[in-house]
Structure 1
Amino acid sequence: MDYINIIEDDLGEDAIEDDLEILDFVGIGFPRRFNERPNYYQEMDPLGFFRRFRLTKATVLHLLILTEDQLEYPDNRNNSLTPMNQLLLALRFYASSGHLAQVADFMNVHESTASRVVAHVSRVLAALRPQKVKMPEPQESVRVQNEFYNIARFPKVQAIIDCTHIKNSIPCWTRGDNAEIYRNRKSFFSINVQCLTDARLKILDVVARWPGSVHDATIFANSTIRARFEAGHFPGSVIIGDSGYGLSNYLMTPLANPVTPGEQLYNEALIRTRNSIERVFGIWKRRFPVMAYGLRLKLVTNFTIIVATSVLHNIAREMNEPEPPIPEDINEEELNYLIETQQIEFEAQDHPGNNVVQNEIIRYFGQL
């Protein structure tokens, strides 16, 4: 139907302009408006970019090369976001205190769009896990053990294991009858995340699917990495954990009451070496503050974000990225407090006596 002709015939040409405004109002021929999107990669200075997105421009460009094929839309209908803007939106969310509305305003998009983009980009980044978050190959074992040995002379170490809690701020009633399993020993809802790290402060393995109430030792007992050690995939190697884990021939834990000089040196070396994983958790959460403030999206998306940021952490280590300054809108003392309180210690496990591997290492320290 020709609406312009109808208006001319019934009301005359003088009324056309006013009536077209009415037609636009009721949705006939209403022109769509598209927000102008900022180009932060081009417009922002390097320090400001690093502060807000937590990675340098060179590393973000490297990320774009790795992910562009998965982020590219098949056409430009509806003024779709470019791969770079999608990537920057997700990075800005990881650098925030977890409020989507704030990130959406910063990127000049609707909050629902920001939510979809964060989820999609996180899935794409998490898909890089097999290449970026992995245990060393057998031919690398000697190098890894030497790097750990150089810290405190503890021999045979392949990795350090520990768990950290990521606040899970979804309202508890959205999880039905299972809500309370996410409440940890410090009474806040969280996801208990198991990590293995190396002496270069990279994450070698991450398990991000267990509720906050689950014991660290339970997560390890049900993990793939335990099965691999049990199957002998890492011969002659051990991992180091705290006293919350059970002692075994491949998992070394501190002695409760060291007496001899060898036992005391064993404990000191183990504690100094194990400090590497505490540093990893601090660097990881300071680079991506959302990991300390808490995740407020769907539970499955929260799991994906944890894996995605572990991938980004490793890429940052590979690119020799310095630690970025604290974002301007985040209080440094508050962030540090959150990181410290998310480490939860469990009671010491009952350790069997006369462990062959542990005794061998204690004898080694006794000869120093």
Structure 2
Amino acid sequence: MTRNKMAARGAACCHGNTPSKIRGAGGGRVVGLRSLVHTRFLTAPPPLSNHSCSRKRDDKEKLIKMAFPVSLVIMRAHNIANSANPSITPRQTRRPRRFQIRLNLNSFTDEEVLQHFRLSKDSIRMLYEEIKLHIDRQTRRSHAICGRSKLLAVLHYLASGSFQYCIASKIGFTQPTFSRCLRQVVNAIVNISTNYIRFPYSISEREEVKLKFFQKYGMPLTIGLIDCTHIAIIPPAAEEQSYRNRKMFYSLNVQLICGPSGKILDVVARYPGGTHDSFVLSGRGIGQLFQSGYFGDDLLLGDNGYRLTPWLLTPYLSPTNRRPASL
């Protein structure tokens, strides 16, 4: 065999042929391969004539340099062969996909629906029709999750306050899938919230609300009931103390104004839990409109967390007769 062919076979060993043999070879193969490399690349060539000694010496140095990566591969294979566990880990196959049974609204009674989702079946169906363009997938390929299942999962999560993993296992999702559905459904609900959460700014709307308050509770000139509630959150690290409320947990202090039937008319959800209720009301929004006289003689009813003003009535702290107590 000529030196050129020997160099070509050495290069083939360096570029992938040798590792494939070593991965499936035992200790004997490694020794045989080492002998092959030493025989072809590292042993001294036969005697040469004087006129070609210089050229042949250069060829030998090139072959030794080519054999150096092969020697590293041999050393690695020798370590594998002599290790305590010489077996090679088999190639892992892809885990087959498993599709769980997803939740169906018809599988619940009316009482169970109210208990798990805090809404009736008709309300859930109406809400789905409002946001289905935002949460439904355009394809049914790969067992795509339908919009109804997404909505039920998010409503159950919001109603129970449980962990995402627990909710996802009940609905038939994985936790990462439920996390994506949660953001998608919540954004869709926020986008349509202005269609339902509207304060009665016009005179005709306020007159209708005042009439309902008077017919139901006997309170004249009233257009809303105001209070704040704390929604627990994980606070930002930079402003952690400002989110700690008087009950010693981190929250947002959310202000709500409701109508005579309990319908939410206005929401302010941008103040940390350490903020007082009166400060939330004095910010930009409904409070400033009342202070400027925009609503005339109309009134709000609040609790003792607010101070008494000409447009905000609070209960008596220590009533002395039945008439003030009845108010």
Structure-1 separation of matches of 2:260 and 2:123: 22
Report the TM-score when normalising by structure 1: 0.58
Deviation digits for residues 189-243 of structure 1, max 9, x if unmatched? Answer: 2211111112211111111121111000110011411133234442331112223
The whole-number CA distance in structure 2 between the counterparts of 1:50 and 1:186 is 29
In structure 2, C-alpha distance between the alignment counterparts of 1:86 and 1:143, rounded to whole Å? 37
Assess if the C-alpha contact under 8 Å between 1:153 and 1:269 holds in 2.
no
Report Cα offsets for 1:95-129 as digits up to 9, x if no partner: 22321111010112111211221222112112222
Aligned to 1:154: 219
Q: CA RMSD in A?
A: 2.7
Calculate percent identity across the aligned residue pairs.
Answer: 27
Name the CA shift for 1:109/1:144 in 2 (closer, same or farther; >3 Å). same
Of residues 127, 149, 166 in structure 2, which corresponds to 1:63?
Answer: 127
Show the counterpart of 1:140. 205
Distance 1:187 1:126, change over 3 A: same
2:271 aligned counterpart, secondary structure? strand
Rounded Cα–Cα distance in structure 1 between residues aligned with 2:269 and 2:211: 29
Q: Does 1:97 align with 2:161?
A: yes
Structure 2 segments unaligned to the other structure (5+ residues): 1-88
Amino acid at match of 2:207: V
Which AA in structure 2 matches 1:111?
Q
Q: How does 1:185-196 map to 2 (within 5 A)?
A: 185-196=246-257
**SS of 2:127 mapped into structure 1:** helix
Alpha-carbon spacing, 1:51–1:251, altered in 2? closer, same or farther (3 Å): closer
Counterparts in 2 of 1:152 and 1:83: CA distance versus 1, 3 Å? closer
What residue in structure 1 maps to residue 139 of structure 2? 75
Q: Which residue of 1 aligns with 2:97?
A: 33
Of structures 1 and 2, the one with the larger relative CO (CA 8 A, separation 6+) is: 1
TM-score, structure 2 as length reference: 0.65
**One-letter identity of the residue aligned with 1:253:** T
Is residue 154–residue 269 contact of structure 1 (8 Å, CA) maintained in 2? no
What's the offset of the Cα at 1:39? Answer: 4.3
Counterpart of 2:212 in 1: which secondary structure?
A: helix
Instruction: Answer whether contact 2:252 2:269 (CA < 8 A) is retained.
Output: yes
C-alpha distance in structure 1 between counterparts of 2:208 and 2:152, whole Å: 36
Matched, 1:198 2:262: no
Aligned residue for 2:230? Answer: 165
Alignment deviations for residues 328-355 of structure 1 (CA, whole Å, 9 cap, x no partner): xxxxxxxxxxxxxxxxxxxxxxxxxxxx
Q: Secondary structure at the match of 2:275?
A: coil
Q: 1:135, CA displacement in angstroms?
A: 1.3
Instruction: Judge conservation of contact 1:190–1:211 (CA < 8 Å) in 2.
Output: yes
Correspondence list, 1:315-334, <5 A: none
**Which of 310, 319, 324 is the matching residue for 1:249?**
310
Does the Cα contact within 8 Å between 2:103 and 2:171 map onto a contact in 1?
Answer: no
Please tell me the residue identity of whatever aligns with 1:153. Answer: G
Look up the equivalent residue of 1:209 and give its one-letter code.
R
- 1:15 aligned residue: none
Q: Which runs of 5+ in 1 are unaligned?
A: 1-21, 271-368
Aligned to 2:290: 229
Partners of 2:141 and 2:249 in 1: CA distance: 43
1:51 Cα offset (Å): 3.0
Match of 1:86 in 2: 150
Q: In the alignment, which of 289, 295, 299 is matched to residue 238 of structure 1?
A: 299
Counterpart amino acid of residue 75 in structure 1 = T
The higher radius of gyration belongs to 2
* CA-CA distance at 1:255 after TM superposition: 5.0
Aligned residue for 2:145, secondary structure, equals coil
How far is 1:92 from its partner?
Answer: 1.3
Q: In structure 2, give the amino acid aligned to 1:234.
A: F
